[in-house]
Chains A and B, each alone.
Chain A
Amino acid sequence: MKHFISIQSIPRESIDKLLDRAEQIARHRPTGRPLSEKILGLLFFEPSTRTRMSFESSMLRLGGQCLNLGGAESSVMKGETLADTIRVVDGYVDAIVLRHPRIGAAQLSTEFSSVPIINAGDGAGQHPSQTLIDLYTIRQSFPLDGLDVGLLGDLHYGRTTHSLAYALAKYGVTIHTISPKGLGFPLSVKRSLTRFGACVVEHESIKEALPHLDVLYVTRIQRERFPDPASHYDTLHSYRITPELLSNAQKHLIVLHPLPRIDEIDPGVDVLPHAKYFEQAKNGIPVRMALLLGVMK
């Protein structure tokens, strides 16, 4: 694997291999410092402290070094094309982690880079390393094949849910979308999922979908994205995950959230066996370590 850009373009076998490797890393830390000769460049055109820290920590744990290439805050790069930036900084580092507000930025970068590009989020497009973490966390509880997975929240703009849905399609999962009117999957995402042979069931109510689910993936609904701001309070409230609501779920249901959460999940849920979102956050390190090894070794 040279670049890591979108989950659609990675075959299932390669995803499984990455997840297996992450599992090995989580069980026994890799011996020695496999990336001690390498420098990882972090190029963030929009802030995302968590994602950046997670990549930095993963690289340091593998014995490598990180170089912050600036991005949004760097005056040098203002007005310069992304293509030029990439052509210059690929000489400084052995791989580039890129976060950019425009869709397709990571793919474009691959056309100008001589070193591997890792997509850490491109606008409303993909966030494939988060998807690996999501798959990894689900796999800790059940094999991925044939599950019923609910995706809840803003599915229109939410990039994590698009990537995850594309990945799940490779495992014959039934995808249940649960979102307020107007915030469902964009048509293009639906079309692509159909093309990949995914089974998608749409719901507006969480109560209706919940009893069928093995996995519930919760994302934030941003107020400003809400098509009808006047009604947002009541609607948001009806999508909130609480211990009472979960009493109607299957016993083995797991609840995931890419974090940070605001009030989508009641803190009372944290102590229930369903809650796996803090596990999920921890899984970021072994999964990103496997990814860095995958592109640089």
Chain B
Amino acid sequence: MKQVFKRPDCLVDIPFHFCPGCHHGIIHRVVAEVLDEFNLREKAIIAASVGCSVFMYDYFDMDVIEAPHGRAAAVATGVKRARPDNFVFTYQGDGDLAAIGTAEIIHAANRSEKVTVFFVNNTIYGMTGGQMAPTTMIGQLSTTTPRGRDPQEAGHPIHMAELLATLAGTAYSARVAVNNVKNLMKAKKATKQAVRAQLDKKGLGFVEYLSTCPTNWKMTPEKANRRIAEELIPIFPLGVFKEEQAPAEAGVG
């Protein structure tokens, strides 16, 4: 028998601090597998964010720069412009990217920065204890929407993958889920495409991962996992919203 599944090489062999059943762990691993596949460990520089994924420097055996909350896309811009031959990516939560860091991600995409952005949408602020996120669903309870999110008061769930797809500088934008193996395989494929967008110098590559936060959703891991299909996907449809052809393939004679 030969080994068909093992820990990705670029993931340091220490336990994750994530809560039981949290999809952050799966998404970390998917990203790590893809980076291994493209042999990017020695080339990568990560712009880490502030949220439950703040400890990337412990988990990924790669160079990491800590960005202030929300600013990872700007930090990644600075890194990539200074080191265009490195592979630069961010990994951000929905508070980080879609609230405080909205300007930075939109303009990084609009400038067609050759960076890759992994965006974890768990419809809540995990690290700070379950407050409303811009992605929180209508009616969803959070510690700051105790009666459920009322769109007239607190706004609507924001759709980052679709929004970024409207920008000319975005080379790839997709929304995926990791709630079952079928979706997870698509997530890996999207992750690869977002990596390629940078490697082929096409523009910004973006993947939105629907994720659970069993702790702040106050659900068992199993129930939280089910909520992805039952409640999130109907509102946050999975799919590829933008896929730019490589300049070579565009067929300029």
User: Is this pair of chains taken from one and the same complex?
Assistant: no
